[in-house]
Amino acid sequence: MKKIYLHVLFMYFGILSTYAQTKPEPARVDSSRYQSRKLKIDEINLVSAYYHQNGNNSAVTGGIGTEKLSDFANTIDLQVSKFNKRGKKNTFLFELGVDHYTSASSDKIDPSTISSASSADTRIYPSLNWTHSNEETGNSFGFTGSYSTEFDYQSLGAAFNLTRLSKDKNTQFDFKLQAFLDQWTVILPIELRTGNTGGRKEEQYDTAPRNSFSASFSLAQVINQKFQASLILEPSYQKGLLATKYQRDYFTDGSLRAETLPDKRYKLPIGLRMNYFLDDRFVIRTFYRYYMDNWGIKAHTAELEIPVKINSFFSVSPFYRYNNQTGTKYFAPYGQHLPSEQYFTSDYDLSTLTSDFYGAGIRFAPPKGVFGWQRLNMLELRYGHYSRSTSLVSNIVSLNLKFK
C-alpha cells in the first residue's frame, strides 16, 4: 500500500545502463578481429537506497496526522550481449527490484489494530529488456516486459524503444511507448466498510483496474564541442481507479467519505535539458520541465547539477532542484470539502506547494578497479535532502556499484 508520490525517490533510484561500444567488423575480416557470437556479460549494477520522510499531512487520515515512512530499496541488473551472424548486437538487460517499507500513516487505515498488515509491505518488480542495435550507425530498437506485485496491487508492463542517429552522430532521436495494466485491491478505511465481521482473515476486498499508457519523444543535438541540448515530450493517459480509496476526506457537515477522483487523467510534461562542458574538470547540467494535466495541476521544475572532476577517476556532483506546483481543483484541507462536491481529495501531493531538493554525489572509478578489485568498475554514493512548503521533509542515501 505504499504511497510515495515524490519524484525524489524515482530520481535517485534510476539505474543508467551503458552499452559496450565494441564495433562489429564485416564478415570478410581475418579471424583475429572476429567478434565472438557467444553470450557475454557486459556489466552488473547493484543499487541500494534508504529513504525516510516525516510530515503532518497524511492523506490516510484526511490531511492531518503523521506521514512518517521509511523505504529500503534494492535493485540488481544484469546486462549481457552477443553479436549475430550479420554483426548486429543483441543486448539483454534483466532487472530485479525489491523494496520494503514501513508506514505509520498507512497503519491508520484501521487504527484499532496495534500493527496491521498495511503498516509494512514489500514490492517485487522484475523486468527484461531486449535491444537490437547496429554499432556502426548507432540505431537500435527493443522491447521490455515487466511485472510488479505488492499487497494491494499487481501490474503487468510492456514497452517498445527506438533510437535513431544522424549520419554525423550529432543528432539523436529516441522514442518509447509504455503500457501498464494494473489491478488494485479496493481497501476502504475501517469505518466505511460494510459487512465486516471483525475477523481480519474473513475480510474480502473488491478489485479494480488502472491502465496507464505513455509515450516519450526525445531529440538530442550536439550544438558544438562544449554544448549539448535535448528536448523531451512525455504525454500519458490513465484510466481506471485513480483514487486511493483508503484515504479519508472530511466535509464541512462533519461527514466522512473515501477519496474520489475522476477515472481519467491526461498528463503532458515538456522538458529541456542542456549540458555545457566548461573545461576538462567542470560540467554544467541544467534541466527545466513544465507539467500540466486535466485535473488542473501545473508545475515548473528547474534543476542544476555541476559535476566536478577532482582527478581522472574521482568526481563530486552537487545538485539543486526547485519545484513550484499549482494544485488540483479537487483538493481541500481537512474538514473543508463541501458535501456537494463530486470529486475530492486531501492528499497534499496534489495541493499547491513549493519544494527544494539538494545534495551531492561522489563517483569513484579508478582504472585498476575500486579498492584494487578490477571487476568493481565504479562506486557512486549520493545523498539528498528534500523539503516542501507543506512541512514534509525527507532524506535519501543511495549506493551504486558497477561490475564489468
- Going by C-beta distance under 8 Å and a sequence separation of 6 or more, which residues neighbour residue 364? 313, 314, 370, 378, 379, 380
Residue 362 within a domain? yes
More confident residue, 191 or 73: 73
Give the pLDDT confidence score for residue 206 in this predicted structure: 87
Angle CA 255–346–49, to nearest 5? 140
List the domain range (segments joined by +) for residue 199.
7-11+39-403
Q: Rounded CA gap, 80 and 161, in Å?
A: 18
Residue 210 within a domain? yes
Give the pLDDT confidence score for residue 13 in this predicted structure: 47
Cα 116 to chain centroid, rounded: 27
Overall number of domains in the chain: 1
Residue 28 within a domain? no
Lowest mean pLDDT among 58-62, 90-94, 193-197, 367-371: 193-197
Residue 25 within a domain? no
**Stretch 223-252: mean pLDDT, rounded?**
96
Residue 217 within a domain? yes
Residue 256 within a domain? yes
Percent of the chain with pLDDT over 90: 75
Residue 34 within a domain? no
Residue 254 within a domain? yes
The model's pLDDT over 333-345, given as tens digits with 9 standing for 90+, comes to 999 999 999 999 9
The model's pLDDT over 265-301, given as tens digits with 9 standing for 90+, comes to 999 999 999 999 998 899 999 999 999 999 999 999 9
Contact 400, 378 (CB under 8 A): yes
Q: What is the CATH number of the domain that holds 372?
A: 2.40.160.40
Contact 141, 162 (CB under 8 A): yes
The residues with which 202 forms a beta bridge, in sequence order, are none
